[in-house]
């Protein structure tokens, strides 16, 4: 969102949600973008976790990535670090690749939403230019 979007709303939300997102706290994006109750974002929201599970399963079943060691990792552990703690360096590499894949799956949907928000922002700026209110027009005589 920070790298590819041009609308002010999405960029500010990206800045706000960056640090919590690193630690797996994604509510600012889920409710702020919004992803929840948004039919446009339903496709990547359902597709990315499904693809991640399928790829992870096959990587573990064929032995590219070892099975998890059974260590209980806190849910706020950042991506790549949690993969390293659960399975070793192979898990970190897998998580990094899945993260990049997820970004590419979300990118066209975020860009469509960004275009809508950018059009709304330019429309709001144009309408605010037409409706300039002057303090000279105010009158308190009728009170």
Tell me the per-residue pLDDT of 104-134, one tens digit each, with 9 for 90 and over.
999 999 999 999 999 988 888 877 665 566 6
pLDDT for res 104: 95
47: how many CB neighbours lie within 10 A of its CB?
14
Rounded distance between C-alpha atoms, residue 48 and residue 75, angstroms: 18
What residues in the chain have per-residue pLDDT under 70? 128-139, 142-143
The reported pLDDT for the residue numbered 127 is 76
pLDDT of 115 reads 92
- Check residue 130 and give its pLDDT: 56
Total-model pTM:
0.81
What pLDDT score was predicted for residue 94?
Answer: 97
- Please answer whether residues 41 and 35 qualify as being in contact, where contact means their C-beta atoms are separated by less than 8 angstroms: yes
Report the C-alpha gap between 41 and 114 in whole angstroms. 12
- Cα–Cα dist 128/124, whole Å: 6
């Amino acid at each position: 969102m920070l790298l590819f979007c041009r609308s002010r709303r999405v960029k500010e939300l990206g800045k706000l949600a960056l640090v919590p997102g690193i630690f797996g706290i994604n509510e600012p994006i889920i409710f702020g973008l919004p992803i929840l109750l948004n039919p446009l974002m339903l496709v990547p929201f359902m597709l990315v976790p499904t693809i991640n599970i399928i790829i992870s399963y096959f990587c573990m079943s064929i032995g590219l990535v070892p099975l998890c060691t059974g260590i209980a990792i806190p849910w706020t552990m950042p991506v790549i670090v949690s993969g390293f703690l659960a399975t070793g360096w192979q898990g970190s590499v897998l998580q990094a690749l899945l993260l990049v894949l997820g970004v590419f799956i979300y990118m066209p949907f975020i860009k469509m939403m960004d275009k809508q928000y950018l059009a709304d922002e330019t429309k709001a700026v144009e309408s605010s230019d037409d409706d300039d209110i002057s303090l000279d027009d105010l009158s308190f005589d009728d009170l």
